[in-house]
Structure 1
Amino acid sequence: MTNAEQRDSPCVALCTTALGDPVCRGCGRTFDEVAHWTQLDAGQKRDVWQRLDARRRLLEIGLQHGCLVAVELDVAGDEWAWVPASPELPRFRLARGDDGLRLLVRDPRQGDVEEAALPDGVAPSAESFAALLAERFAI
């Protein structure tokens, strides 16, 4: 039995959406997902559960910069993080490749996607991806 099957809600009683955060720092759900959780059907809840681990990693990258991130879905169903206080900054997401996690960055105006590669020998982590974003994109 998975963790998602053991509990109905991902809530960990540290809700920050009540404080105005676009994504809860406790469970990783968006404001709308928290507010409408009881109205979601089993499939919708399962979809949210499946996105939470990756979403929490995006939150960690944002928090390394001292900023909150929001998430948006693209037409392919991939979630991209962005900084609501600075909408001109690029959107970013993590993708799993043959060589591990990699950071993808999308220009919010043109939609161009590029991979922001970590230097050789640098392990993928919230800190290393945050440093890469700061260096290349002034986030």
Structure 2
Amino acid sequence: MESPCNKVCTVDRASNLCLGCGRTLAEIAEWADLSGEERARIMAELPARLAHLPAVATPRPLIVA
């Protein structure tokens, strides 16, 4: 199954969209249950969504001391 996930997984609070893939949390959670047509529709919307989001800085690894 195709997925736009690129393992960035950081949500923009203002838009509620993932800064990595452009999906909402609901879309991410439901992805496996969506029909192919629904996934294709969302995938088609992602470039426009991402164009309006802030650029993502390279995530830093979490260091636990």
DSSP 3-state at the match of 1:36: helix
Q: Which has the higher contact order (CA 8 A, sep 6+)?
A: 2
DSSP 3-state at the match of 1:59: coil
The alpha carbon displacement at 1:30 in A equals: 0.9
- Matched with 1:25 is 19
- Matched with 2:44 is 50
Larger radius of gyration: 1
Gaps of 5+ in 1: 1-6, 64-139
- The alignment-based identity, stated in percent, is 36
- Matched with 1:15 is 9
Q: How far apart, in 1, do the equivalents of 2:37 and 2:18 lie?
A: 21
- Matched with 2:33 is 39
DSSP 3-state at the match of 1:56: helix
The alpha carbon displacement at 1:13 in A equals: 0.4
The alpha carbon displacement at 1:57 in A equals: 0.9
DSSP 3-state at the match of 2:18: coil
Q: What aligned pairs does 1:1-139 form with structure 2 within 5 A after superposition?
A: 8-17=2-11, 21=13, 22-60=16-54
TM-score normalised to the size of structure 1?
0.35
In the alignment, residue 26 of structure 1 is paired with which amino acid? G
The alpha carbon displacement at 1:59 in A equals: 1.0
Moved more, 33-42 or 20-29: 20-29
In the alignment, residue 42 of structure 1 is paired with which amino acid? G
